[in-house]
Amino acid sequence: MKAFAALFTQLDESTKTSVKVAALADYFRTAPDEDKLWTAALFTGRRPKRVITASKLRLWAAEHAGLPDWMFEESYSIVGDLAETIALVLPPPSQTSDQSLTAWIMRLRELSTQDEDARKAGILAAWDSLPTAERFLLTKLLTGGFRIGISAKLMTRALALAMGQPEPELTHKLMGNWTPDSVTWHSLIEAEDPTADQSRPYPFYLAYGLEGFDSLGPPADWSAERKWDGIRGQFILRGGSHYLWSRGEDLMTDRFPELAQLCDALPDGTVIDGEVLAFVDDAPLPFAALQKRIGRKTVPRKLLAEAPVILMAYDLLEQDGNDIRSLPFAERRGRLADMVARVSTRAPLRLSPRVPFNDWNDLAKARDDSRDIGAEGLMLKRHDSPYLAGRKKGDWWKWKVDPLTIDAVMIYAQSGSGRRANLFTDYTFAVRDGDALVPFTKAYSGLTDAEFRQITAWVRKNTLQKFGPVRQVPPVHVFEIAFEGINESPRHKSGVALRFPRMLRWRQDKPVAEANTLADLQEMLRVYG
C-alpha cells in the first residue's frame, strides 16, 4: 500500500501528463504482479464492491475523531470529498502496517462478509494503522467509488512504456469482462495472444466535434451518415457465441435478447460497430424508450414488444476472424454492406444509410433535418481512414444539431468535488408556473471558473437555508440551459426529464419574470419528446 500511496501522491501533486506517465511507468516496472493487476483494474473502472455505506463511514469517523456530527458535516462540505475528509479528521495512527494493496483489498473483502460490529472494528483498526495518504485510498476502496482523476488512456500509455508493448495492443488487452479474480498479470498483459478471450471487444474509435469545414478538404473525400441517439455498441460473434459490449465496456448481451437472432444470420468471426436503437415501423424511437431497458438484466415481454431493438451497423471490424481495422473505411463499409445485404430484413440489423451530398452546403441542410428523423446530427468519416482506438482528430468528426435551450431560474446550489470542492458548481433550476417555481433539472457544467467563483461568493452571502451540502438561494439568477432531448417523466415534479443538460450561459441580462414557464417546457415535450 505504501508504494501505491506514493504513486498516488506523485500523480496528485503534478498537472503535467509526462510526469504522471513516468510515475505510473516506474510503478508498473517495480510493483508486484498482483498489485499491478489491481492497479490496472482500479484505473479501468473495475473497483471492489462497497464494504459499508457512506453514512456509516461518516458516523464512525466522526465518533472516532471525537467530533460532533455537525462539525464533521461542515468539514465535509468544505473539503468536498468523503474519503479525504475522513483521512484528515481522524487522529494520527497508533500503529503501522506494511500490507500490500492486494492484501488490503482482500482484507476489505473479508470484512464485507462479517456483521456490522466486526466491520466497524476492522475499519477502525485499518484507519488506525495507516498514515493520511494510505488511509484516504483505503477509504476510497471502502466506498466502492475509487476515482482519483487518472484516465484509462493515460494509464495504458504508461503501461505501454513500462512493458515495451504497443499502446493499441495493450488497449485491446485491457478491454472486456476481466477482473483480478479471473485473470493473472501474465495472462492479461504478458501473454502473446491478445484475442484469447473470445468475448473481448476492440477499443472504440471516437470522433471530435466539428467546428468548421476549412481543414477537411474536398467533400468527395468524405462519407456522411446519421449520428443516431442510442447506445453505441460492438456486436461480437466468435466461437458460436455472441456478445454485445457498450462503449463504456458494459456487457449488455442479456439486456437485448433480440440480437441473438444474428447468430444464425452472420458468419462466425464477425465484429460489428453500431448503435443499439429502439426501432418500430422502420424508424427509431426516442432514447427514453430504450432507456427503460438499460438497467434491466431480464426484459419482460411487454417491454420487448413496446421497444424492440435493432443494431444499426456503422462499421465492420472483424471478418472471418480477421482483424480488418487497418483497412480503409470505404473498404470496410463495402464489406459490411455486402454482409448486411445477405441478412433477412426480418433480422434486427440495418446498415446505417449514407447521407448523399455534393458540397458542404448540402450537408448542412441534411444536418438540419436530423432531429425530425430521430437523429442527433451527422458523422463524417474520411474514405481512407483506418479504425483507430480512442478519440483522434482528423479522420472522424461528429456534427451534432444545435441543442434545445430554455431559460431557467437557479433555486439551489451545491458544492462540487475534486478541484471544485470549494466552489458551488452544481445547481438546481426551475421554470415559472404562475407565481410558483417548479424545479425540473440540475446542471453542473458549462460556465467558466471565473463565473463559478462569482456565483460561489454570491451563494455564500445569500443562502436562505441549508440542507446538508445544499444551499437554498433567492430565485434571482437566470441561466440558459442547453439539452439534447426531452422526455416525459412521472418521477419528476415538472413531468419532464432532460437529456444531457448543461449551462449554456448565465443570463445576467434577463430578469426572472422573463424566464420560461412550465407551459413552455410542456410544449417542448409535445414537439420534441
CATH class of 205-400: alpha beta
* More confident site: 149 or 237: 237
Q: Residues near 225 by Cβ (< 8 Å), separated by ≥ 6?
A: 314, 352, 353, 354, 355, 378, 379, 381
Using CA atoms, how far residue 337 sits from 41, 236, 314, 325, 330, in Å, is: 37, 17, 10, 16, 10
Residue ranges of the chain assigned to CATH 1.10.3260.10: 2-143
- How far apart CA 484 and CA 76 sit, in angstroms, is 34
Q: Is the pLDDT of residue 315 over 90?
A: yes
Confidence of residue 152 (pLDDT cuts 50, 70, 90): confident
Q: How confident is the model at residue 86 (pLDDT cuts 50, 70, 90)?
A: very high
CA distances from 319 to 42, 93, 389 (A): 33, 58, 18
Q: What mean pLDDT do residues 188-210 have? A: 83
Taking alpha carbons only, the member of 83, 55, 81, 85 closest to residue 72 is 85
Region 246-258 average pLDDT: 88
Write the DSSP symbol of residue 401: P
The amino acid at residue 242 is H
Q: Are 237 and 269 in contact (CB under 8 A)?
A: yes
Fold of 404-528: OB fold (Dihydrolipoamide Acetyltransferase, E2P) (2.40.50)
In the β-sheet with 396-400, what is the strand arrangement from edge to edge? 208-209, 396-400, 375-382, 222-228
- Other beta carbons within 10 angstroms of residue 526's beta carbon come to 10
Residue range 416-470, pLDDT digits in tens: 876 677 889 999 999 999 999 999 999 999 999 999 999 999 999 999 998 877 8
Residue-level pLDDT at 49:
84
Listed residue (282, 396, 261) closest to 332, CA to CA: 396
> What are the two backbone dihedrals, phi and then psi, of residue 506, each rounded to the nearest 5 degrees?
-90, 115
| Residue 372, amino acid | D
pLDDT over 60 (residue 195): no
CATH 2.40.50.140 boundaries in the chain: 404-528
Residue 143 confidence (pLDDT) above 70: yes
- The tens digit of pLDDT for each residue in 5-47 reads 999 888 888 888 999 999 999 999 999 999 999 999 998 888 8
* Fold of the CATH domain 2-143: DNA ligase i, domain 1 (1.10.3260)
SS3 225: strand
Task: Report the percentage of the chain scoring pLDDT > 90.
Answer: 65
Phi, psi of 150 (to 5 degrees): -115, 120
In a 13 Å sphere around the CA of 483, the CA atoms on its Cβ side amount to 26
Tell me where in the chain the CATH 3.30.470.30 domain(s) lie: 205-400
pLDDT of residue 196: 60
Give the pLDDT band of residue 147 (cuts 50, 70, 90): low
Considering the chain, what is the average pLDDT of its residues? 91
Say yes or no to pLDDT of 51 above 80.
yes
Q: What is the pTM of this model?
A: 0.73
Q: HEC states along 261-312?
A: HHHHHCCCCEEEEEEEEEEECCEECCHHHHHHHHCCCCCCHHHHHHCCEEEE
The rounded distance, in Å, linking the Cα atoms of 17 and 4 is: 18
What confidence category does residue 149 fall into, taking pLDDT thresholds of 50, 70 and 90? low
Confidence of residue 299 (pLDDT cuts 50, 70, 90): confident
495: amino acid identity, one letter: G
pLDDT at 170 over 70: yes
Out of 68-82, 96-110, 242-256, 307-321, give the one with best mean pLDDT. Answer: 307-321
